[in-house]
Amino acid sequence: EAQVTQNPRYLITVTGKKLTVTCSQNMNHEYMSWYRQDPGLGLRQIYYSMNVEVTDKGDVPEGYKVSRKEKRNFPLILESPSPNQTSLYFCASSDDRGGTGELFFGEGSRLTVL
């Protein structure tokens, strides 16, 4: 089954404790990206990657890091989480080799930073 898998789905952590949210897709998509969803703000793009070893900042990259060492994986790293990073996070991928380029989303990861 074609899918984007995120882990963990739910996480409560404390300020300053480094954490990684993993994202993996099995559709051989070149494009992958991370978003955070906050009430009243919609989804905002954090980082995106056009291909292996190629990453770019989205609209809200502060406090986050990413890496793209393999085509299928695109982890989101919070080096020193703060309460304002409490949010619902989505990973998504798309096939930009033709077609519409719609995003395929993971199920989301709800992060709470205390």
Residue ranges that bind other proteins, judged by CB under 8 A: 31, 33, 35, 40-45, 48, 50, 56, 58-59, 88, 90, 92, 96, 100-105, 107-108
Q: Which CB atom, from 50 or from 77, has the smaller least distance to other proteins?
A: 50
Q: Which CB atom, from 58 or from 63, has the smaller least distance to other proteins?
A: 58
| Residue 18: alpha-carbon gap to chain centroid | 16
CA 39, 40, 42, 48 torsion-angle sign: negative
Q: In angstroms, what is the minimal distance from the CB of 13 to other proteins?
A: 20
Query: In this structure, are residues 19 and 11 in contact, taking their beta carbons and an 8 Å threshold?
Result: yes
Q: In angstroms, what is the minimal distance from the CB of 64 to other proteins?
A: 15
- Strand 42-51 relative to strand 54-57: parallel, antiparallel, unpaired? antiparallel
